[in-house]
Structure 1
Amino acid sequence: MSGFDFGKLKDPQYFAENRLPAHSDHVFYRDETELARGVSSFYRTLGGVWHFAHARNTAFIPQGFEAADYDCHDWETIHVPAHIQMEGHGVPHYTNTTYPWDGHESIAPGEIPTRSNPVGCYVKYFNVPEDWENVFISFGGVDEALALFLNGHFVGYSEDSCTPADFDLTPYLTAGENKLATMVFRYASASWLEDQDFWRFSGIYRDVLLYTKPQHHIEDIAVRAVPLERDGYTDGQLDVHLTFGDASEKHVEILLCDEDGDCIWEDEASILAKTHTFSGEAACVLLWSAECPWLYHLLIRVRDAADVLQEVVRVRVGFREFCLRDGLMQINGKRIVFKGVNRHEFDCDHGRAMDPALFEQDLIALKRANVNAIRTSHYPNSSRLYELCDIYGLYVIDETNLETHGSWMKNGAYAKDAHTVPGDHEAWLPAVLDRAQSMYERDKNHPSILIWSCGNESCGGRDIYEMSEYFRRVDPTRLVHYEGIFWDRSYPATSDMESQMYTKAADIEAFLKEHRDKPFICCEYTHAMGNSCGGMHKYTELTEREPLYQGGFIWDFGDQAIRRRGRYGEDVFLYGGDFGDRPSDYNFSGNGIFFADRRPTAKLQDVKYNYQNFTLRPAWNGVEIENKSLFSDADDYELRLTLLLDGRKIWETWQQGHHVEPGETKFIDAVIYKMPYLGEGEYVLTASLCLKNEEPWAPAGYEIAFGQAVVTPSKEEGIRLFDILGRGVAAPAYAPIEAAGNLRVVQGDINLGVQGAGFSLIFSSAQGNLVSYRYGGRELIEELPQPSFWRAPVDNDYGSGRMADTAQWKLASLYRRCIRIEYSVDDAAFTVVDGFFGRQEERRAKSVTVRFTYALTASPAATCTVTYTVDATGVLRVALDYEAAEGLPEMPDFAMLFTLSADYDRIRFYGYGPKENYIDRCEGARLGIYESTTADAVEPYLRPQETGNHCGVRWIEVTDRSGHGIRLAGDVPFEASALPYSPHELENARHAYDLPRPQHTYLRASAGMCGVGGDDSWGAPVLAEYVQKNETRHLAFTLKGI
């Protein structure tokens, strides 16, 4: 096999052969016309269709297939870029920390599986343009290891799945057609260094480029653009270090231009060396930051001695300073707070072989959600991501492709031993440093990158410390991050900041009281698995009172699920184990604030609010604006004020010219007028800041911050508000409905009937419940109303074991026995004896009350009562009461559940929305009237779970298409949902496609559901203040047909 030694695959020190040195990711063009078009004739893509054979392991590789005379034209084909498994060869495999071979083959670090080590054999036939005197190839990303051949000759070898591998093809080219052959190994010794929490794929998954170089070519560019501290950072120091492929004479012109094309600095030199550095100062530069991503264009022209243009290069330049000063991380002299997100490079249809358009789509979505930072978890991303972060303005932690989680943590327990990789092992050090160098050299010119990360969850030791020292040595303009020193503090200087994962906000605060030598970030926090992100505001509040806590990065951007066509032709999203992949961590890949298809989840509602740079506090006579930005004035935005009366908009205005500087808090008062008093009701004032001008990531008018408050107007003064437009639209007040006539009460042996104008109810002693509520000739109740103390567990409940702790409440919700029935007609009270209401009779009454007492399936014994009171208007007052029984656990929920026909699938409510929210995740919700459907109320989490809840509900209506249905209203705000599935149906399904076709609508009113949690998803309980304790509880609301 052309002399390639497969034994080298298990040698940690064999990670590259004949691979060209890593270099900056600049693109070079023949002239400025090509540059303007963005298409360089120096490059050709080899992306597209390749010939392909799949081998189970190295023994099954087609012998000699790389030879020039071995005809592969009749082979199967595969797309490049793509993962082999996504193209139908083998299956995707998801595991979190466990190495994928665990339980299949027993191997030690460095060794590789032998029985199953699939190899992808790729072949591409191509011709080279006649004017190309030299030819090189660049593989943007190959997972896991690549052996390359051209026309039967061995060209080279490379590992590191996430940085480019370039090779010189020139010595092996022939005239006419050339045959490129590669062997892509799923496992090599490098597999021990790439144990990230993601789908395990293999193949050529990033683009492959052929390129040629001109005679005088810039091999590498290193740009440093820093503001000078004098004069308040108004001038900039620019250093441009060029490395050439030759030392012969050439002439170089270099210009720094602003966005308008005006040159602000230039230089030129004739060079007779392989390296040269241009240095100079640029006056009055605008500084780059995530808030204000000012960029300049560095234009470089290279000419030969005869003044013939060789190449043109353009590099985006951002002047910015990032450093530790006074114990804090600072950007351009200001304390930075990272409002970040971890982001895997993942597409539900193509895995990590992402459609380039998705990079821009993702960053636009993050900017709109007020995210200001990305951690490239846990490997270098495609260069396009960094280009867009430079342009749109997002800070980046660029992470080395290193994770060895399964080598030192077993079943969640710290287990560092001699097999921990890389540790202090000399054999692994060269590969570790190579990964750092490959990332640094490619990405060093991007101003968006503030921090180099030494990898993720690889314990600690000398090898990673040496990597951190490498970064400091080559780049003093950035800081170095590594979370692993939390677990292994033998080399604490590895990280310039204290970095931890999933530490509770209170514990961070306690830690910083004792350890004030470094700033602190959460490189992962608010684990967004399923219905999660509860308590995120605790971290936001901590950034405001503890300077050393400088923010964090949510885990993570999007669900890693794979879209496939289901059994019945529908789109389904599959997670670990669904492909028969074992071992697996199943739906633990679903941790996104976006779904796998990039639709936003309801969690994003709170993320956007917690990350907004302005706090707005409306009051009856104005609004206080706190500007938490570092560089942006509130005058860059328009202020919108909206007044609601009982949820209906009665007035709105826009205001400009509110000057609130960064770090300043100001109360905005303006021309005030008196609005006529519009009657009793709830007045809610919402203040929003919206983009005044269009941005690359959002149109003018897009809301970037809001605040809301209930205001109380004075009957004498009216409502004092800003009068800019001088107009308002009033809505008529609702008049109370007076009771008309009396109820007709029909007392039977088993049933008690209550009838009124257009409605009727039946209470049954046999069923121990309300069995009928007819309104307008329609039966509204399909099944017996029931007290509900259970919810479909969310992923955090599974992870913390909370279901086992509270399982009695599931039984209590499913199984109960009516032990007492009491009723009263007007003021006369009765008790049902032996299941009979008494003698049959009929009477008139103004109101009827029926109370059912239930014995719950619980130990110790417990009871609850449900009381129904109906009056002549048809309003049914419902009360659920529970007196705490000592020894029972906390309640997941305390609610009444009504089962209606699935025809009642229209929802309208006055409460907090528009997206679902929970007691610990409602900061970003706002009070208003919202409309939806029961189907849309279900958030499509990878594993079905509790969904659709709304806090602060004043009333909720569930109707059919004609507007008939039911309305619940509370004297005090309550929680509510209307779903096409019961809590138990949601709990029983492992995928959305396991859910039954909707037959009912489940309308729920709750005095309070437990929070969803989110500190982590494997043990952290819901914060104590958001738990529904086992204590005396009361729920009351009215129900009426409409």
Structure 2
Amino acid sequence: MCEGGRPNLSAILLQKGRFHMAAFDFEKLKDPCYFAENRLPAHSDHVFYRDEAELARGVSSFYRTLGGIWHFAYARNTEHIPQGFEAADYDCRDWETIRVPAHIQMEGHGAPHYTNTTYPWDGHESIVPGEIPVRDNPVGCYVKYFAVPEDWERVYISFGGVDAAFALFLNGHFVGYSEDSCTPADFDLTPYLVAGENKLAAMVFRYTSASWLEDQDFWRFSGIYRDVLLYTKPQHHIEDVAVRAVPLERDGYTHGKLDVRLAFNDASEKHVEILLCDSEGDCVEGEEAVVTATTHACSMEAACVLLWSAEHPWLYHLMIRVHDAAGALQEVVRVRVGFREFCIRDGVMQINGERIVFKGVNRHEFDSDHGRAMDPALFEQDIIALKRANVNAIRTSHYPNSSRLYELADIYGFYVIDETNLETHGSWMKNGACAKDAHTVPGDSEEWLPAVLDRAQSMYERDKNHPCILIWSCGNESCGGRTIYEMSEHFRRVDSTRLVHYEGIFWDRSYPATSDMESQMYTKAADIEAFLKEHRDKPFICCEYTHAMGNSCGGMHKYTELTEREPLYQGGFIWDFGDQAIRRRGRYGEDVFLYGGDFGDRPSDYNFSGNGIFFADRRPTAKLQEVKYNYQNFTLRPSWNGVEIENKSLFSDADDYELRLTLLLDGRKIWETWQQGHHVEPGETKFIDTAIYKMPYLGAGEYVLTASLCLKNEEPWAPAGYEIAFGQAVVVPPENTGASLFDILGCGVAAPAYAALEASGSLRVVQGDINLGVQGAGFSLMFSSAQGNLVSYRHGGRELIEELPQPSFWRAPIDNDYGSGRMADTAQWKLASLYRRCTRIEYSVDGEDFETVNGFFGRRDERRAKRVIVRFTYAFATEPAAACVVSYTAEASGEVGVTMEYETAGMPEMPDFAMIFTLDADYDRIRFYGYGPKENYIDRCCGARLGVYESTAADEVEPYLRPQETGNHCGVRWIEVTDHGGHGIRLAADVPFEASALPYSPHELENARHAYDLPRPQHTYLRASAGMCGVGGDDSWGAPVLAEYTYPNGKRSLSFKMKGI
């Protein structure tokens, strides 16, 4: 086995000499065993302060940031590095500048590169694992001039994150080298410092042998992307803090044991105070000790401890004060402490004695403006957004995040899978197929073992004190083998309070003990259930599931239901939090979001980085309403007699929340009340009598009762009254001949908008050679035998339809359609939606027999009538030949009934069955009674609720990275599309239908690669549908929509009424 890791600093200085001049052998970049030189040992991420006043301010005078503007030169490869630039007398002040932290490619040097599994050099240079690109391997040459405070004796530097590796120099002397892009690298600068100004130089390499270990599905950047800190230490300093806080099962989890281990920089005498304080600052337990060694350990027990969980993240503070022998304060350290137990008991994972269900999300550290050099404010913004969405767990896919993420997860309450910076996907998987061979990394190779273990150790040491971390992950998609098994064993040796995770054993079962749980990706819920019937030895999680690429997340409820009936299935982590897209200024000055390939980067996986439940700018997608519902901890089942509440929380009573009841009549709120004091304990289901049934008769109409649980008090992540769970049902009140509620309250409700208007007057029917005109009070229609269609619908003197109404069987393909190849299977329906031939026209007046129009209407005539029906038969260029019949029924009341019928054998399943009316773009105001507020689909409507909503055509378009089907609403009773003056059209039906109103047609959406490719809106496309197939989302590269959410070929019909308003 090769030598590696963190050499002893004193030995290095003795070996190389105090004034060892710069010399770096670039050949070492190819050596997997060379991953660190002179780097200091990894340690906990605690911050130390001079006194408690500094701690209270959160600013330590021991630290100084070097973030800001650095001098910079960009070299295409090592041969183009400015020779000797690291020397003290090489003046770099006239170089270009660059921000730190930042990615080199986001600062205008080179280009961002997105690829999923394929290594970015594939097809450019033929290399094997360990080798590195030669021609295109950029090096960032960084220089920072700085001075050290005069009272600092020893000086150190910490790089929070450098991608992918760097060699460091000070005043021309080689300081050290480090790999692992995602954990800190600390060095001692003291031997190389000079009085006054110092020159720090770094060579940042884009690719080294370590790049074979960092093949994550993300943008490939390089540079110093996390902060750089100078720091000094007091005479007596805590180098490392290790804290373990566990509840004691023997006392029913009411007592806790705290183990503390401190590592010091010297063995001289020091006085140490160790105090455990509660959230109010009151001391719970403590110890004082005189320490004359480099380590000190202590244990203490505390009574009546409050346990940490995602539901109740109770935190204590461990206060540590270090004094010298004379009593002078040296430093103050505070570490957050959470008492919690996490283990496998009785075959299932438990948190504090209760079966846990992970309601999780994978989260890349990504900012659309800065890449992984994230705006610090976004960390808390993300955490709050996830808390509001009922998410309780985060997987740090696929590398350790900034310490700030774990700090916030401790405070707000999230269960975290902390993942080692390891992914070698492209070394063993080719085009989706497992192709493990001798070049699989790391496999069983001794060569890669030291670097792999170093990454695990660096993550563990930094993050070990965070109670939020329940599971150490050995990385992602790196196949299997002994090397990763050794990593898992390392985690077990150093930490018995957490479990170890690794999904790769699914692909390589040679070391099944690598993972304490069965972990799979994108396995269908039914297949998980089948697997667990045969394999009961481990609990099961989906470390990735519900692939949220574009318009997705269909069928998520299948997984939620499985957690409730299969104890071994303990949840999963959605892929993923947010779209990884880069914001740039567009050609016309607008903000645009770019994805893979847009920077000329090849190979690329294009928009495959757009998988978020949030958009790249952190706006929530419509998918979030489904996620929030599936992840809620309470199920509410309202009825006319009350509400059944099922409490799926582990530690929260329903009485922690307020119960809000809202009653709608035909979509309009007519009654609301707030109630408290309903105790439903964790795991309990209880029926709550809400006394709604005692109300007087309310009158005819559709009643919808919504029950919500809302925050009783303000929380750090949401205000009082914020809804955390809801249930809704259409309810039927008992009939009552007494006074109605409207009479009592004096709040009469308008008649349902979808009700037929009272018939009045008659129709004037004008039959010409080519056209049949129908005119009524304030409206008119014209049917053309030449066009074979309705060509005019006027109301109030205005033309409402700009183009011929179209039967539509196609939708703009969503990303899941592209991935599954569904378009090829159903392509005939696109042709049928674009092209058709009218083969038959029939009409009937006042119930007379239908007359067939043979080219023209045959005679000129004018008469009065109550009803006119015109029927068109359309044939499509399909195989076999398909046809549909569209009928228009004009009534004297002003309503126009529209019916579309289809029945043809032998055709593929139908993506949609709809009629589309093309209106002028001025008609862009939307009001509907159906499921909303956000778009929803037959397999993604659990989180939608029935009501009356208002929107605009533009706002109905979800800005997916690649334009696709959007804006659908299920269960629509009626929809109105109007201009700013309220004039427009209403569609309504007794049987709920699906509808949308968008500024783009399905074909315009399909033809655009980006939102900025869409044409300037000229129309509003009003669509009524008998049902579109679901969106799916088990994965986005092959999984079809579940059969129950598709429409196999067969008889279909659509019926609604249309009226101008």
Contact 1:620-1:719 at 8 Å conserved across structures? no
What SS is found at the alignment partner of 1:365?
Answer: helix
Distance in 2 (alpha carbons) for counterparts of 1:720 and 1:556: 50
Distance in 2 (alpha carbons) for counterparts of 1:350 and 1:1020: 33
Distance in 2 (alpha carbons) for counterparts of 1:699 and 1:415: 52
After TM superposition, list the pairs within 5 Å mapping 1:974-989 onto structure 2. 974-989=993-1008
Aligned to 2:749: 731
Cα deviation for residue 674 of structure 1 reads: 3.3
Aligned to 1:222: 242
Distance in 2 (alpha carbons) for counterparts of 1:464 and 1:411: 23
Contact 1:621-1:720 at 8 Å conserved across structures? no
Distance in 1 (alpha carbons) for counterparts of 2:781 and 2:366: 55
**Pick aligned residue for 2:56 from 36, 39, 45:** 36
Cα deviation for residue 1028 of structure 1 reads: 1.3
What SS is found at the alignment partner of 1:362?
Answer: helix
Aligned to 2:825: 805
Cα deviation for residue 741 of structure 1 reads: 1.4
The yes-or-no answer on 1:319 pairing with 2:328 is no
Contact 2:640-2:693 at 8 Å conserved across structures? no
Cα deviation for residue 1035 of structure 1 reads: 0.3
Aligned to 1:958: 977
What SS is found at the alignment partner of 2:938?
Answer: coil
Cα deviation for residue 838 of structure 1 reads: 1.6
Aligned to 1:895: 914
Cα deviation for residue 317 of structure 1 reads: 0.1
Cα deviation for residue 739 of structure 1 reads: 1.2
Q: Percent identity?
A: 87
**Pick aligned residue for 1:657 from 673, 677, 682:** 677
Cα deviation for residue 3 of structure 1 reads: 1.8
The yes-or-no answer on 1:757 pairing with 2:774 is no
After TM superposition, list the pairs within 5 Å mapping 1:473-622 onto structure 2. 473-622=493-642
Contact 1:94-1:585 at 8 Å conserved across structures? yes
After TM superposition, list the pairs within 5 Å mapping 1:240-389 onto structure 2. 240-389=260-409
1:318-368 per-residue CA deviation (whole Å, 9 max, x = no partner) reads 000000100000000000000000000000000000011000000000000
Contact 2:582-2:593 at 8 Å conserved across structures? yes
Contact 2:698-2:740 at 8 Å conserved across structures? no
The yes-or-no answer on 1:702 pairing with 2:722 is yes
What SS is found at the alignment partner of 1:33?
Answer: helix
Aligned to 2:136: 116
Aligned to 2:447: 427
Aligned to 2:82: 62
The yes-or-no answer on 1:442 pairing with 2:442 is no
Contact 2:562-2:569 at 8 Å conserved across structures? yes
What SS is found at the alignment partner of 1:21?
Answer: coil
Distance in 1 (alpha carbons) for counterparts of 2:750 and 2:788: 42
Aligned to 1:851: 871
Cα deviation for residue 737 of structure 1 reads: 2.3
Distance in 1 (alpha carbons) for counterparts of 2:885 and 2:823: 24
Cα deviation for residue 860 of structure 1 reads: 0.5
Cα deviation for residue 732 of structure 1 reads: 3.8
What SS is found at the alignment partner of 1:832?
Answer: strand
1:640-699 per-residue CA deviation (whole Å, 9 max, x = no partner) reads 000000000000000000000000000011455633323211000000000000111000
After TM superposition, list the pairs within 5 Å mapping 1:758-777 onto structure 2. 758-777=778-797
What one-letter code is carried by the residue in structure 2 that aligns with 1:501? M
Distance in 2 (alpha carbons) for counterparts of 1:1038 and 1:417: 64
What SS is found at the alignment partner of 1:531?
Answer: coil
Cα deviation for residue 834 of structure 1 reads: 2.7
The yes-or-no answer on 1:1025 pairing with 2:1044 is yes
**Pick aligned residue for 2:201 from 156, 178, 181:** 181
What SS is found at the alignment partner of 2:492?
Answer: helix
Aligned to 2:885: 865
1:580-618 per-residue CA deviation (whole Å, 9 max, x = no partner) reads 000000000000000000000000000000000000000
Contact 1:100-1:583 at 8 Å conserved across structures? yes
Contact 2:165-2:177 at 8 Å conserved across structures? yes
Cα deviation for residue 1029 of structure 1 reads: 1.1
1:163-193 per-residue CA deviation (whole Å, 9 max, x = no partner) reads 0000000000000000000000000000000
Cα deviation for residue 389 of structure 1 reads: 0.1
Aligned to 2:170: 150
Cα deviation for residue 716 of structure 1 reads: 2.0
Distance in 2 (alpha carbons) for counterparts of 1:414 and 1:1035: 46
Cα deviation for residue 424 of structure 1 reads: 0.2
Cα deviation for residue 831 of structure 1 reads: 2.8
Distance in 2 (alpha carbons) for counterparts of 1:510 and 1:340: 23
What SS is found at the alignment partner of 2:381?
Answer: helix
Aligned to 1:929: 948
Distance in 2 (alpha carbons) for counterparts of 1:1013 and 1:740: 47
Contact 1:938-1:948 at 8 Å conserved across structures? yes
Contact 1:673-1:720 at 8 Å conserved across structures? no
Distance in 1 (alpha carbons) for counterparts of 2:338 and 2:747: 49
Question: Which ranges of 4 or more aligned residues in structure 1 deviate by more than 6 Å?
Answer: 717-721
Distance in 2 (alpha carbons) for counterparts of 1:35 and 1:844: 89
Distance in 1 (alpha carbons) for counterparts of 2:500 and 2:717: 29
Distance in 2 (alpha carbons) for counterparts of 1:810 and 1:733: 40
What one-letter code is carried by the residue in structure 1 that aligns with 2:1015? P
Contact 1:651-1:730 at 8 Å conserved across structures? no
Distance 1:251 1:559, change over 3 A: same
Contact 2:643-2:690 at 8 Å conserved across structures? no
After TM superposition, list the pairs within 5 Å mapping 1:668-687 onto structure 2. 668-671=688-691, 674-687=694-707
Distance 1:717 1:459, change over 3 A: farther
Aligned to 1:626: 646
Distance in 2 (alpha carbons) for counterparts of 1:607 and 1:526: 10
Contact 1:338-1:372 at 8 Å conserved across structures? yes
Distance in 2 (alpha carbons) for counterparts of 1:782 and 1:594: 36
Distance in 1 (alpha carbons) for counterparts of 2:270 and 2:775: 100
Contact 2:783-2:792 at 8 Å conserved across structures? yes
Distance in 1 (alpha carbons) for counterparts of 2:756 and 2:920: 29
Distance in 2 (alpha carbons) for counterparts of 1:3 and 1:176: 24
Aligned to 1:391: 411
Aligned residues: 1038
Cα deviation for residue 232 of structure 1 reads: 1.1
Distance in 2 (alpha carbons) for counterparts of 1:742 and 1:631: 67
**Pick aligned residue for 1:823 from 837, 840, 843:** 843
What one-letter code is carried by the residue in structure 1 that aligns with 2:587? R
What is the TM-score when the length of structure 1 is the normalising length?
Answer: 0.99
Which ranges in structure 2 are unaligned for 5 or more consecutive residues? 1-20
Which ranges in structure 1 are unaligned for 5 or more consecutive residues? none
Distance in 2 (alpha carbons) for counterparts of 1:351 and 1:65: 28
Distance in 1 (alpha carbons) for counterparts of 2:212 and 2:691: 67
After TM superposition, list the pairs within 5 Å mapping 1:459-478 onto structure 2. 459-478=479-498
The yes-or-no answer on 1:943 pairing with 2:962 is yes
1:979-1014 per-residue CA deviation (whole Å, 9 max, x = no partner) reads 000000000000000000000000000000010010
**Pick aligned residue for 1:129 from 127, 149, 152:** 149
Contact 1:679-1:733 at 8 Å conserved across structures? no
Distance 1:747 1:797, change over 3 A: same
Contact 1:678-1:733 at 8 Å conserved across structures? no
What one-letter code is carried by the residue in structure 1 that aligns with 2:404? R
Distance in 1 (alpha carbons) for counterparts of 2:851 and 2:903: 21
Q: State the superposition RMSD in angstroms.
A: 1.3
Distance in 1 (alpha carbons) for counterparts of 2:700 and 2:1032: 37
Distance in 2 (alpha carbons) for counterparts of 1:745 and 1:1000: 30
